[in-house]
């Protein structure tokens, strides 16, 4: 019997929590100062994608389910929020709620079908379902086809706060995204989250302990889809636009990219990844199609060199949780 060299360090866990608190404080500070330095719409866009990537990471990073169809929830929630706000005259909070719930319902349907398969088949089914709904979006009259739904009114939040003010809108988005971020953190650190991690680590063993793993996976899928829906709904209000780009498969690919670059299964990775990718798209826009090539190179570099993603590598180097 080989004995372990050192006795276990019980304090490690507590230090891990501290690093998360510090990182969260830094993130909030940057986001509070941010709009005075950078263009607020850019920050809001990045925040929406950060939430989208966090929702995606909940599934792939903590349950081990790689969905390649998350644009379905993001894009359709965006359409339905825009439709509710523009044509039905919903106030922003109700429109966002409506979009979010539509993400939940779509997640329930798509998840019930997809979790029956594993690995690459799971990814393929989610992709197929998302593409099917993309073509519905192309054809359905209410989505406006190629034009999308334009001039979506931001309205007055709770009838009081005028969201057409950029800063008011920014605060609204920031609060929603931070609250969702904390909610996701709570999910992965709940009794439910513990079971999810067990399923990721060894599903047959989790089954043999008496867990009905399909139900846990479905529940996680619905939570992820709901939060992806929230991200899509918020984005519709930020840009006052819902368009085909958001339901197309490239959007599903982009969220995979953001999560991988930032760090799969890390708490802050998806946020960092989202900001980086969105920044590249904005600030490298002058290079036109070359943005895709640059993205491709970064992606390849990440897979080859930074296997854990930016935040994952950082956390590993510092020996903390991030």
| Residues engaged in binding another protein (CB under 8 A) | 1-2, 4, 7-10, 12-13, 186-187, 189-195, 197-198, 201-202, 204-213, 215-216, 219, 223
Distances (CA, A) of 13 to 30, 306, 311: 26, 24, 18
Min dist CB 276 to another protein, Å, is 26
Tokens 């005259």 sit on residue: 89
Judge whether 106 and 257 are in contact, CB under 8 Å: no
- Alpha helices by DSSP H, 87-212: 92-114, 119-139, 166-188, 191-201, 203-208
For another protein, give the closer residue by CB, 165 or 215.
215
Min dist CB 247 to another protein, Å, is 27
Judge whether 84 and 94 are in contact, CB under 8 Å: yes
Min dist CB 23 to another protein, Å, is 19
Q: What are phi and psi of 144, to 5 degrees?
A: 75, 15
Query: Buried b vs exposed e over 12-41: b needs ≥16 C-beta within 10 Å?
Result: eeeeeeebbeebbeebeeebeebbeeeebe
For another protein, give the closer residue by CB, 31 or 220.
220
For another protein, give the closer residue by CB, 118 or 245.
118
For another protein, give the closer residue by CB, 20 or 279.
20
For another protein, give the closer residue by CB, 35 or 103.
103
Min dist CB 163 to another protein, Å, is 28
Q: What is the CA radius of gyration of the chain?
A: 20
For another protein, give the closer residue by CB, 156 or 197.
197
Distances (CA, A) of 306 to 94, 133, 163, 316: 41, 34, 40, 11
For another protein, give the closer residue by CB, 92 or 193.
193
Min dist CB 45 to another protein, Å, is 28
Min dist CB 288 to another protein, Å, is 43
C-alpha span between 24 and 320 (Å, rounded)? 14
Q: How many Cα atoms occupy the beta-carbon half-sphere of 302 within 13 Å?
A: 24
Min dist CB 284 to another protein, Å, is 36
């Amino acid at each position: 019997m080989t004995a372990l060299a050192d006795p276990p360090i019980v304090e490690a866990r507590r230090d891990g929590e501290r690093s998360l608190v510090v990182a969260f404080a830094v993130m909030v500070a940057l986001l509070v100062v941010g709009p005075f330095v950078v263009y607020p719409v850019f920050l809001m866009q990045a925040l929406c994608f950060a939430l989208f990537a966090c929702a995606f990471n909940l599934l792939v990073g903590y349950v081990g389910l790689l969905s390649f169809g998350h644009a379905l929830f993001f894009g359709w929630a965006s359409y339905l929020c825009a439709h509710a706000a523009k044509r039905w005259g919903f106030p922003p909070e109700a429109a966002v709620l409506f979009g979010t719930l539509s993400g939940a319902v779509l997640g329930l349907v798509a998840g019930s079908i997809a979790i029956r398969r594993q690995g690459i088949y799971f990814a393929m089914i989610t992709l197929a379902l998302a593409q099917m709904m993309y073509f519905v979006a192309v054809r359905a009259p209410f989505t406006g086809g190629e034009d999308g739904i334009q001039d979506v009114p931001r309205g007055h939040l709770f009838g009081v706060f005028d969201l057409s003010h950029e800063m008011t809108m920014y605060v609204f988005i920031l609060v929603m995204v931070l609250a969702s971020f904390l909610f996701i953190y709570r999910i992965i650190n709940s009794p439910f989250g513990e079971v999810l991690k067990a399923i990721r680590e060894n599903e047959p063993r989790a089954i043999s302990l008496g867990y009905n793993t399909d139900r846990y996976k479905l529940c996680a899928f619905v939570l992820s889809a709901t939060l992806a829906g929230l991200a899509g709904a918020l984005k519709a209000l930020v840009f006052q636009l819902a368009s085909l780009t958001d339901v197309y498969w490239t959007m599903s690919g982009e969220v995979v990219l953001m999560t991988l670059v930032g760090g799969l299964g890390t708490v802050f990775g998806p946020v960092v990844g989202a900001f980086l990718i969105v920044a590249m798209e904005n600030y490298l826009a002058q290079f036109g199609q070359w943005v895709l090539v640059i993205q491709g190179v970064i992606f390849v570099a990440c897979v080859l060199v930074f296997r854990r993603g930016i935040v994952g590598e950082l956390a590993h180097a510092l020996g903390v949780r991030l």
